[in-house]
Structure 1
Amino acid sequence: MADFKVVLSDPQDGISYKVEATGGMAGAFIGKSVGDIIAGDALGFPGYQIAITGATDKTGIPARRDLPGLGRRRLLLANGVGFKPTYHGQRRRMSVRSAEINGDFVQINAKVVEYGEKSLKEYFAPAEEAAE
């Protein structure tokens, strides 16, 4: 089974949290695409709705939302995810991943869309206190 590092952003507080997704938690992401919304119950946050905003594979290649299917592709890019031009009109052929999440991914970026009863600070506070 795949293991993921999920970087969960909280737009209300402006804080990001790192969640290790293993086993069943990681299974909730397999087969989903960038832009999909999943239930926060899969990560242990009941009542939350979480949107997948991006992902990166084991070599650091980002996933593009507009590419369906699995695997890597080399595309001629003028802007967007995977390439930032340094001058007007610049294009470059870059490797990017398709949007569907599989076991090759290492990091998944996500943000909270709907909040549950408890705040995310309450879930992560004991872990931060134990680290000190």
Structure 2
Amino acid sequence: MAFKVVISDKEKSVQMEVEPSESRALIGLTIGDEFDGSVIGLKGYRLKITGGSDKNGFPMKKTVPGARRVRSLVSGGVGYKPARKGERRRKTFRGNTVSEDIVQINTVVIEKGEKPLEELLGADEE
């Protein structure tokens, strides 16, 4: 399965597929960790992990430690929007650590490189 990285820069978001060899460098990082963009081919960029989802579509949650999957009783927040006040529901979440089961991570740009994102990603597609 392809590993995807979603990069958000202010109001613009870009999705890119990452090679399996490059994605191994991200394993073990947690939500809130920063990493160098050159790991995934974005020289000069610094990215922060804000979330993600696993191979079955379950979202990562910052408050769940490790790479495990848990069923948690929630009343709102990431992965659940209640229809009425006070409503709670048991939902499944993935832990906050990037593992082999994660297929997508969401990131935000902390530091920009010399070249814009579109130019770097456009060169990769050709």
Q: Residue 31 of structure 1 aligns with which residue?
A: 28
Deviations, residues 108-130 of structure 1 (Å, cap 9, x unaligned): 111111111111122133467x6
Residue ranges of structure 1 left out of the alignment (5+ in a row): none
Residue number among 74, 84, 88 corresponding to 2:85 in the alignment? 88
Distance 2:78 2:95 in 1: 11
Q: TM-score, normalised by structure 1?
A: 0.87
Q: Residue 63 of structure 1 aligns with which residue?
A: 60
The answer (yes or no) to whether the contact 2:58–2:94 under 8 Å persists in 1 is yes
Q: Residue 49 of structure 1 aligns with which residue?
A: 46
Q: TM-score, normalised by structure 2?
A: 0.91
Do structure 1's residue 73 and structure 2's residue 70 form an aligned pair?
A: yes
Distance 1:29 1:120 in 2: 20
Deviations, residues 54-93 of structure 1 (Å, cap 9, x unaligned): 1101111000011111210011001111211110000111
Q: Residue 10 of structure 1 aligns with which residue?
A: 9
Structure 1 segments (4+ residues) deviating >4 Å: none
CA RMSD of aligned residues (A): 1.7
Identity of aligned residues (%): 41
Distance 1:22 1:63 in 2: 21
Which letter maps to 1:119?
P
The answer (yes or no) to whether the contact 1:57–1:104 under 8 Å persists in 2 is yes
